């Protein structure tokens, strides 16, 4: 297994048929901002100072008020990016509209339509939350991951099997994603379709972001994520769990620095609507990093896929895997530029940037 893994990793470093030398960009320049996008302090190493450090530094200068204010503005910044999935206007605390929302509040309200959203293990920011009669079934690839069984098995063997499709393995994938995301250190990152939060937890532990949003449509995946966070004793100071549909992201437009979506696009009901949403929520210059299984490993498959896909999709209710060209085309159609990628077998990790 180890041999397969290292072979896959070294192959990933060299296999980029169309883009090799032209678009492959694994090590972008790193310029850690002195200040995070939300006004949160970053250390010289680019790591975010924990809230306790903010307290410590403020108290040594004898300025408890500014310490309080820093902690307050951190909390405020964390929740101020959340928006109503219906109106896209910011959510406010439903307890006291005059004061900044507090992370401990368990109800948020849309500032325009007044819909309420509550938090248990996670914020449920799906459009139909609260409806009593209406229910709808998503395509199979979405529903599968909502089951308790698959959510439980996911990090206990299921995900590890992706290595046979060319996925380099969690550690290597995380390092590759981190390289693409380096210019966004200090900012807010969404780990979209996070599953049980395997990458979200690594993003938090890296201390490179002022806020990590672990987002998924599956209630059971989010519960697993919450359990792993407890088990691993990870601080949730800079972590928010959100239930949402990727095609209806509950964030203010242009408010997010980076979005990572590992092994997910092939599960989304409409990759086009999803990428359009990703583009909407990213700030100009914001980075989208995704990985998925790719369809064009054997070039003769492409014309066959073109003909057969509508029928396969109609029968299965899923989107079959896209080709590298289709991914690039989709990103570009949604206003994301500088498409770069690394491929290995059926695996692709790619990055694109919101046009400035
Ligand atoms: C194969 S898992 C990937 C999990 C993790 N990101 C990883 O790298 O292993 C795909 C995830 O996509 C999520 N998903 C499927 N449809 C979705 C949708 N419409 N909106 C948000 N997430 C969705 C599933 O719940 C599942 O957790």
CATH of the domain at 338: 3.40.50.150
How many C-beta atoms surround the C-beta of residue 59 within 10 A? 12
Q: Is the CB of 108 under 6 A from ligand 1?
A: no
pLDDT at 105: 63
Kindly report which listed range (97-101, 156-160, 325-329) carries the lowest average pLDDT score. Answer: 97-101
Tokens of 326: 């289709």
- The confidence score (pLDDT) of residue 202 equals 98
The per-residue pLDDT for 295 is 81
Q: Please give the Cα distance from 132 to 168 (Å, whole number).
A: 44
Q: Which atom of ligand 1 is the closest one to the Cα of 264?
A: 10
72: helix, strand or coil: helix
144 or 24: whose pLDDT is higher? Answer: 144
pLDDT for 164 beyond 50: yes
Atom 12 in ligand 1: residue holding the nearest Cα: 193
Give yes or no for residue 155 CB within 6 A of ligand 1: no
Domain tally for the chain? 1
Which is more confidently placed, 311 or 84?
A: 84
Task: Please compute the mean of the pLDDT values over residues 210-232 and round it to a whole number.
Answer: 97
Question: Closest residue (by CA) to atom 13 of ligand 1?
Answer: 193
Confidence category of residue 302, pLDDT binned at 50, 70, 90: low
Residue 322 in any domain: the answer is yes
Which residue out of 125, 127, 144, 145 has the highest number of ligand 1 atoms within 8 Å of its CB and is therefore the one to mutate? 145
Which residue in this structure is represented by tokens 């819909």? 115
Tokens linked to 332: 């570009």
Question: What does DSSP assign to residue 298?
Answer: S
Nearest CA to ligand 1 atom 11: 193
CA distance 291 to 259: 12
Average pLDDT on 257-267 reads: 96
Q: Which residue has the higher pLDDT, 123 or 77?
A: 123
Question: If you count them, how many residues does the chain have?
Answer: 356
Checking if the pLDDT of 345 tops 70, the result is yes
Q: Is residue 237 domain-resident?
A: yes
Give domain status of residue 340, yes or no: yes
The verdict on residue 57 lying in a domain is: no
Look at residue 121 and tell me if it is in a domain.
Answer: no
Rg (CA), the chain: 20
pLDDT in tens, 129-152: 999 999 888 988 899 999 999 999
Residue 139: inside a domain = yes
Query: If you measure from the C-alpha of residue 193 to the centroid of ligand 1, how many angstroms do you get, rounded to a whole number?
Result: 4
149, part of any domain: yes
The domain of 324 spans 2-30+134-354
Ligand 1 nearest atom to the CA of residue 195, by list position: 27
Residue 148 DSSP SS3: helix
State the Cα–Cα distance between residues 21 and 5, nearest whole angstrom. 24
CA distance 246 to 267: 10
Question: What is the 314 CA–ligand 1 centroid distance (Å)?
Answer: 20
In a domain? residue 36: no
How high is the mean pLDDT of the chain? 80
Residue-level pLDDT at 33: 31
Q: Does 11 have pLDDT greater than 50?
A: no
Distances (CA, A) of 324 to 39, 308, 348: 37, 18, 8
């Amino acid at each position: 297994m180890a041999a397969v893994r290292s072979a896959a990793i070294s192959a990933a470093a060299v296999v980029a048929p169309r883009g090799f030398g032209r678009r492959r960009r694994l090590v972008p320049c790193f310029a850690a901002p002195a200040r995070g996008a939300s006004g949160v302090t970053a250390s010289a190493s680019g790591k975010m100072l924990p809230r306790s450090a903010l307290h410590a530094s403020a108290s040594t200068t004898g300025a408890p008020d500014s310490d309080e204010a820093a902690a307050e503005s951190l909390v405020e910044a964390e929740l101020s990016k959340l928006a109503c999935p219906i109106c896209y206007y910011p959510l406010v605390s439903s307890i006291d509209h005059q004061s900044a929302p507090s992370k401990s509040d368990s109800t948020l309200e849309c500032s325009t339509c007044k819909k309420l959203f509550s938090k248990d293990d996670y914020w449920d920011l799906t459009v139909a939350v609260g409806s009593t009669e209406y229910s709808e079934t998503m395509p199979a690839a979405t529903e599968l991951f909502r089951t308790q069984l698959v959510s439980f098995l996911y990090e206990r063997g299921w995900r590890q099997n992706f290595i046979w499709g060319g996925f380099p393995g969690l550690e290597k994938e995380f390092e590759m994603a981190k390289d693409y995301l380096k210019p966004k250190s200090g900012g807010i990152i969404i780990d979209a379709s996070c599953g049980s939060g395997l990458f979200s937890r690594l993003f938090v532990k890296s201390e490179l972001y002022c806020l990590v949003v672990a987002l998924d449509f599956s209630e059971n995946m989010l519960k697993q994520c919450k359990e792993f966070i407890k088990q691993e004793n990870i601080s949730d100071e800079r972590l928010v769990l959100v239930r949402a549909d990727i095609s209806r992201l509950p964030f203010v437009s242009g408010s997010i620095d980076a979005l990572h979506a590992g092994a997910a696009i092939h599960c989304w009901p409409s990759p086009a609507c999803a990428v359009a949403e990703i583009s909407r929520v990213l700030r100009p210059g914001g980075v989208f990093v995704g990985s998925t299984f790719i369809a064009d490993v054997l070039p003769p498959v492409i014309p066959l896929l073109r003909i057969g896909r509508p029928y396969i999709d109609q029968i299965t209710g899923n989107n079959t895997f896209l080709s590298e060209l289709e991914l690039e085309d989709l990103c570009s159609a949604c206003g994301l530029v500088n498409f770069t990628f690394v491929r290995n077998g059926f695996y692709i990790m790619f990055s694109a940037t919101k046009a400035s």
